[in-house]
Amino acid sequence: MDLNFNKNEDHNKLLLSALRHRLTTVKLGGGEKRIQKLHNEGKMTARERIDYLLDPKAKSIEIGAFVGEGMYAEHGGCPSGGVVVKVGYIRGKQCIVVANDATVKAGAWFPITAKKNLRAQEIAMENRLPIIYLVDSAGVYLPLQDEIFPDKEHFGRIFRNNAQMSSMGITQISAVMGSCVAGGAYLPIMSDEAMIVDKTGSIFLAGSYLVKAAIGESIDNETLGGATTHCEISGVTDYKAKDDKDALDRIKNIVDKIGDFDKAGFNRVKSEKPALDEKEIYGILPKARNEQYDMMEIINRLVDNSEFEAYKDGYGQTIITGYARIDGWAVGIVANQRKVVKTKNGEMQFGGVIYSDSADKATRFIANCNQKKIPLVFVQDVTGFMVGSKSEHGGIIKDGAKMVNAVSNSVVPKFTVIVGNSYGAGNYAMCGKAYDPRLIFAWPSAELAVMGGTQAAKVLAQIEASSLKAKGEIVDEVKEKELFDKIKARYDEQVSPYYAASRLWTDAIIDPLDTRTWISMGIEAANQSPIEKKFNLGVIQV
What are the structural domains, with CATH classification, of the chain? 31-256 (3.90.226.10), 278-446+506-527 (3.90.226.10), 451-495 (no CATH)
Helix axes 111-127, 156-168, angle to 10 degrees: 10
Side chain identity, residue 94 = Q
Do 362 and 431 form a contact (C-beta atoms < 8 A)? no
Q: Where are the alpha helices (DSSP H) in 54-195?
A: 111-127, 156-168, 186-189
Cβ–Cβ < 8 Å for 143, 133: no
Report how far residue 320's alpha carbon sits from residue 408's, in angstroms, rounded to the nearest whole number: 19
Return the H-helix or E-strand segment holding 289.
none
Low-confidence ranges of the chain (pLDDT < 50): none
**CA atoms within a 13 Å half-sphere pointing along the CA-CB vector of 374:** 22
List alpha helices for 285-411, DSSP H.
295-299, 356-372, 389-393, 396-409
| pLDDT, position 75 | 95
How confident is the model over 25-61, as pLDDT tens digits?
A: 999 999 999 999 999 999 999 999 999 999 999 999 9
Contacts 24+ apart (CB under 8 A), 317-322: 317/341, 317/343, 317/349, 317/358, 318/349, 318/350, 318/351, 318/352, 318/353, 318/354, 318/355, 318/358, 319/354, 319/358, 319/359, 319/361, 319/362, 320/295, 320/296, 321/361, 321/362, 321/365, 322/365
Q: Residue 435's Cα: distance from chain center in Å?
A: 13
